[in-house]
Structure 1
Amino acid sequence: MADEDDSYPTIDAKRTPVCIFFKDIRCVLKLDELGLEIAQIAFPAALALTADPIASLVDTAFIGQIGPVELAAVGVSIALFNQVSRIAIFPLVSVTTSFVAEEDAIGRVSPEEQDSESLETGSTVISENKELIPQNEAQYNTKSPVSSFGIGKIENERRCIPSASSALVIGAILGLIQAIFLISGAKPLLNFMGVGSDSPMLSPAQQYLTVRSLGAPAVLLSLAMQGVFRGFKDTKTPLYATVAGDVSNIILDPIFIFVFRLGVRGAAIAHVISQYLISAILLWKLMEQVDLLPISIKHLRLGQFLRNGLLLLMRVIAVTFCVTLSASLAARQGSTSMAAFQVCLQVWLATSLLADGLAVAGQAILASAFAKKDYDKAKATATRVLQLGLLLGLMLSAVLGLGLRFAARLFTSDADVLHMIGIGIPFVAGTQPINALAFVFDGVNFRSI
Structure 2
Amino acid sequence: MGEKDITFSENRNLPVLFIFIKDVRSVFKLDELGLEIAKIAFPAALALTADPIASLVDTAFIGQIGPVELAAVGVSIALFNQVSRIAIFPLVSVTTSFVAEEDAITKATPDLKDCESLENGSTLDSENKMLIPQNNVDEKMYKSESISKSFEIAEAVPEKKKIPSASSALIIGGILGLVQAAFLIFAAKPLLSFMGVKSDSAMLYPAQEYLKLRSLGAPAVLLSLAMQGVFLAGDLTNIVLDPIFIFVFKLGVRGAAISHVISQYLISLILFWKLKEQVDLMPPSLKYLQFGRFLKNGFLLLMRVIAVTFCVTLAASMAARLGSTQMAAFQVCLQVWLATSLLADGLAVAGQAILASAFARKDYGWATATASRVLQLGLVLGLVLAIFLGFGLHFGARIFTKDVDVLHLIGVGIPFVAATQPINALAFVFDGVNFGASDFAYSAYSMVTVAILSIIVLFILSSSNGFVGIWIALTIYMSLRAFAGFWRRVFSIGTGTGPWEFLRT
Fold shared per TM-score above 0.5:
yes
3-state SS of 2:305 partner: helix
Corresponding residue of 1:116? none
Aligned partners of 1:97, 1:36: CA distance in 2, in Å? 20
1:213-252 map, 5 Å: 213-226=215-228, 238-239=229-230, 242-252=231-241
Q: Partner amino acid for 2:160?
A: R
Corresponding residue of 1:287? 276
1:134-213 map, 5 Å: 157-213=159-215
Aligned partners of 1:176, 1:192: CA distance in 2, in Å? 22
Deviation of residue 29 (structure 1)?
Answer: 1.2
More displaced 10-residue stretch of structure 1: 82-91 or 378-387? 378-387
User: TM-score under structure 2 normalisation?
Assistant: 0.74
Aligned partners of 1:212, 1:403: CA distance in 2, in Å? 30
Contact 2:7–2:364, Cα closer than 8 Å, also in 1: no
Deviation of residue 257 (structure 1)?
Answer: 0.7
Distance 1:9 1:204, change over 3 A: farther
Q: Partner amino acid for 1:423?
A: V
Kindly report structure 1 stretches of 4+ aligned residues shifted beyond 6 Å: 7-11
Corresponding residue of 1:37? 36
Deviation of residue 61 (structure 1)?
Answer: 1.1
Which of the residues 419, 422, 431 maps onto 1:442? 431
More displaced 10-residue stretch of structure 1: 92-101 or 216-225? 92-101
Distance 1:107 1:376, change over 3 A: farther
Contact 1:336–1:417, Cα closer than 8 Å, also in 2: yes
Structure 1 residues 334-355: Cα deviation after superposition (integer angstroms, max 9, x where no partner): 1100000000011001110111
Unaligned runs of 5+ in 1: 112-122, 125-146, 227-237
Distance 1:294 1:7, change over 3 A: farther
Q: Residue 259 in 1 paired to residue 258 in 2?
A: no
Structure 1 residues 309-333: Cα deviation after superposition (integer angstroms, max 9, x where no partner): 1111121111111111111111111
Which of the residues 316, 327, 331 maps onto 1:327? 316
Aligned partners of 1:342, 1:8: CA distance in 2, in Å? 48
Aligned partners of 2:70, 2:12: CA distance in 1, in Å? 50
Contact 2:45–2:345, Cα closer than 8 Å, also in 1: yes
Aligned partners of 1:204, 1:446: CA distance in 2, in Å? 39
Corresponding residue of 2:290? 301
Corresponding residue of 1:47? 46
Distance 1:367 1:312, change over 3 A: same
CA RMSD of aligned residues (A): 2.4
3-state SS of 1:160 partner: coil
Deviation of residue 157 (structure 1)?
Answer: 1.2
More displaced 10-residue stretch of structure 1: 394-403 or 66-75? 394-403
Aligned partners of 2:4, 2:355: CA distance in 1, in Å? 16
Contact 1:28–1:388, Cα closer than 8 Å, also in 2: yes
Distance 1:9 1:77, change over 3 A: farther
Aligned partners of 1:444, 1:202: CA distance in 2, in Å? 41
Contact 1:101–1:367, Cα closer than 8 Å, also in 2: no
Distance 1:170 1:14, change over 3 A: farther
Aligned partners of 1:271, 1:394: CA distance in 2, in Å? 31
Larger of the two Rg values belongs to structure:
1
Aligned partners of 2:42, 2:298: CA distance in 1, in Å? 26
1:116-131 map, 5 Å: none
The count of aligned residue pairs is 395
Corresponding residue of 1:107? 106
Contact 1:11–1:20, Cα closer than 8 Å, also in 2: no
Q: Residue 276 in 1 paired to residue 249 in 2?
A: no
Higher relative contact order (CA 8 A, sep 6+): 1
More displaced 10-residue stretch of structure 1: 343-352 or 306-315? 306-315
Corresponding residue of 2:367? 378
